[in-house]
Amino acid sequence: MPISPKLGPEAAAANMADIAPRYTPQEAIIEANRCLFCFDAPCIQACPMGIDIPSFIKKILTGNLTGSARTILTANILGGSCARVCPTEVLCEGACVVLDREKDPVKIGRLQRYVVDYAQENRLQVLKAPSGKSGKRIAVIGGGPSGLGCAAELAQLGHQVVVFEKKPNAGGLNTYGIAYYKMKPEVSLAEVELVKSLGVEFRCGVEVGKDVSIKQIEKDFDAIFLGLGLGKGGRLNLPGEDVPEVVEALDFIEQIHTHPLHDVAVGDRVAVIGGGNTAIDAVTQALRLGAHEAVIVYRRTREEMPAYEFEQQLARTYGVKFLFNVVPTEILSNSKGHVTGLKLARTSSANGKVQILPGTEFIEPFDMVIKAIGEQKQVELFKKLFPALEIHPRGVVRRNPDTGQTNLPNVFSGGDCANGGREVVNAVAEGKKAARGIHAFLSGGKTSGPVQPSRYGVQGAPVGSGFDKPIRVLELEKEYARQRK
């Protein structure tokens, strides 16, 4: 049986509604009041953008929402989407010390969303590009989070920026690839508008290397930022993989973002192969769109699953089933070419190595299979665009992490194509760092962020914070445990 949409418009919309809806003004005040207003707060250090979190929260309390939005957006142009998609549990909120670091932190993400939504809705002009221009032109290739972070910062430094985006809309994964119940594509598109309002030009539907050559770009621009993200989803290389009901997770999610929800086809019994956060996004959305049953098929143990604990928990409370230490060995279809199930085998994954246990094969019926096994690196594309570009053996662009500069002096890079795939917020941070690198390269000028009131006078570092040297709460927990011993 071919798969089909399962829910009507209302049911689909209800199931896909925000999991963390916007605070009402009163809720925001109550939550903001919980903030201790720490000096040199740990949350600032745990935020890869180094947003002055206590400051923006304090401003909510004084009714200065314009100023609050400015505090957020000057540090993080994508403050609105990060507020929704950041794994705050391991970033700012994970570092929050109110009561204790593990207990009921201030809901920083939701407060941030409240402020940015307010600014967005009331069309507050909180950021401004300087009127004096440098005369320098920069091409940003790839309009995803890193490209936007780079473009916005460059525009605010007085440079002229053009963003080249292959898809019809910029925003990258924020527009096409986030679980719908976390963020709607409109949020991302509004952020693209915000970047546009700083004077950045967007050329969407333009594929660099095809519609415009690198040669041309190098002629027209003084520097280039590469924020290409990752490529297509990986292949399982299994028999029966190339049938319509076997889809890549990001394609499935993109459909959700580009079609009315009630037009998105899902199976009755859906298998999602993979154990990362994208697998979780795919499996919960399949369930929310009306799948009867949705199962994560992961080849290692539960403990080894890379998805965040809170994401796994979310899936569990939503009724997702898990098959651990199981791999697919074949995708089964009927004579008409429709998926009927998976042939699976049990594995052992002791000391990290996955081994199929012989004689354990079994069959599970499914009518849809979603692959969430990571995206491919784009080595070919890099080679094609810049034959001399130095590539890391991991398949990513090699660049100076502080400046984004590659071995080609006028080419800078950041985001997933350089870090191999991290959070949206890391991509924005790298884009912003690269913008400062480009600024230094073009004008010899160094930039630093505005003085942060919550860190004013911190010895040796009046500005900076998590943007310069983020702490990771996951790593922190380990270190913490070690020191306690």
Partner 1 sequence: MADLSVNLAGIKSPNPFWLASGPPSNSARQANRAFEAGWGGIVWKTISNDAIVNTSSRYASLNLGTLRMAGLNNIELTTDRSPETNFREIAEIKRRWPDRAMVVSLMVDTRECWHEFVKRAIDAGADGIECNFGCPHGMCERGMGAAVGQQPAVTEKIVTWVMEVATIPVIVKLTPNITDITYAARAARQGGANAISLINTIKSITQVNLDCLVPEPNVGGLSTHGGYCGPAVKPIALHMVQCCAADPEVGLPISGIGGIANWRDAAEFIALGATSVQVCTAIMHYGFRIVEDMIDGLSGYLDAKGFKNLAGLRGKAVPMVQKWESLDLNYKRIARINYDKCIGCNLCYIACEDGAHQSIDLVPPNGQGLGPGRVPGKPIPKIREEDCVGCNLCAIVCPVESCVTMVSIPTGKPKLTWKEYQEKLARGEIKPIPAHP
Number of residues that bind partner 1 (CB under 8 A): 28
Nearer of residues 95 and 372 to partner 1, judged by Cβ: 95
> Which phi and psi (to 5°) does residue 340 adopt?
-120, -15
* Residue 45 binds partner 1, judged by CB under 8 A: yes
Binding segment (CB under 8 A) for partner 1, from list 90-98, 106-114, 151-159, 339-347: 90-98
Q: Which of residues 218-247 bind partner 1 (CB under 8 A)?
A: none
* Residue 215 binds partner 1, judged by CB under 8 A: no
* CB burial of residue 108 (10 Å; 0-12, 13-18, 19+): buried
* Residue 95 binds partner 1, judged by CB under 8 A: yes
Q: Which residues contact 464 (CB under 8 A, 6 or more apart)?
A: 50, 448, 449, 455
Binding segment (CB under 8 A) for partner 1, from list 32-40, 166-174, 256-264, 398-406: 32-40
Q: Give min distance, CB of 67 to partner 1, in A.
A: 15
Of 425, 389, 427, 391, whose CA–CA distance to 408 is shortest? 389
Single residue of 40, 304, 330, 364 touching partner 1 by CB under 8 A: 40
Single residue of 7, 16, 42, 314 touching partner 1 by CB under 8 A: 42
* Residue 29 binds partner 1, judged by CB under 8 A: yes
Nearer of residues 237 and 459 to partner 1, judged by Cβ: 459
* Residue 461 binds partner 1, judged by CB under 8 A: no
* Residue 474 binds partner 1, judged by CB under 8 A: no
Nearer of residues 29 and 408 to partner 1, judged by Cβ: 29
Q: Please state, in angstroms and rounded to a whole number, the distance separating the CA atoms of residues 128 and 199.
A: 9
Binding segment (CB under 8 A) for partner 1, from list 123-131, 246-254, 376-384, 477-485: 477-485
* Residue 479 binds partner 1, judged by CB under 8 A: yes
* Residue 351 binds partner 1, judged by CB under 8 A: no
* Residue 36 binds partner 1, judged by CB under 8 A: yes
* Residue 97 binds partner 1, judged by CB under 8 A: yes
Binding segment (CB under 8 A) for partner 1, from list 9-17, 89-97, 161-169, 351-359: 89-97
Binding segment (CB under 8 A) for partner 1, from list 74-82, 138-146, 192-200, 472-480: 472-480
* Residue 364 binds partner 1, judged by CB under 8 A: no
* Residue 471 binds partner 1, judged by CB under 8 A: yes
Single residue of 100, 351, 446, 485 touching partner 1 by CB under 8 A: 100
Binding segment (CB under 8 A) for partner 1, from list 26-34, 217-225, 379-387, 429-437: 26-34
Angle at 183 between CA 177 and CA 189, to 5 degrees: 75
Q: Which of residues 438-457 bind partner 1 (CB under 8 A)?
A: 457
Place of tokens 């979603």: 370
Single residue of 1, 9, 10, 33 touching partner 1 by CB under 8 A: 33
* Residue 483 binds partner 1, judged by CB under 8 A: yes
Binding segment (CB under 8 A) for partner 1, from list 36-44, 140-148, 149-157, 422-430: 36-44
Provide the β-strand partners of residue 4. Answer: 266
Nearer of residues 64 and 349 to partner 1, judged by Cβ: 64
Binding segment (CB under 8 A) for partner 1, from list 97-105, 229-237, 410-418, 443-451: 97-105
Q: Give min distance, CB of 65 to partner 1, in A.
A: 14
Report the 3 state secondary structure along the chain. CCCEECCCHHHHHHHCCCCCCCCCHHHHHHHHCCCCCCCCCHHHHHCCCCCCHHHHHHHHHCCCHHHHHHHHHHHCCCHHHHHHHCCCCCCHHHHCCCCCCCCCCCCHHHHHHHHHHHHHHCCCCCCCCCCCCCCCEEEEECCCHHHHHHHHHHHHCCCEEEEEECCCCCCCHHHHCCCCCCCCHHHHHHHHHHHHHCCCEEEECCCECCCECHHHHHHHCCEEEECCCCCCECCCCCCCCCCCCEEEHHHHHHHHHHCCHHHCEECCEEEEECCCHHHHHHHHHHHHCCCCEEEEECCCCCCCCCCCHHHHHHHHHCCCEEECCEEEEEEEECCCCCEEEEEEEEEECHHHCCEECCCCCEEEECCEEEECCCECCCHHHHHHHCCCCCECCCCCECCCCCCCECCCCCEEECCHHHHCCCCHHHHHHHHHHHHHHHHHHHHCCCCCCCCCHHHCCCCCCCCCHHHCCCCCHHHHHHHHHHHHC
* Residue 459 binds partner 1, judged by CB under 8 A: yes
* Residue 463 binds partner 1, judged by CB under 8 A: no
* Residue 484 binds partner 1, judged by CB under 8 A: yes
Sites of contact with partner 1 (CB under 8 A):
29-30, 33, 36-42, 45, 61, 95-102, 457, 459, 471, 476, 479-480, 483-484
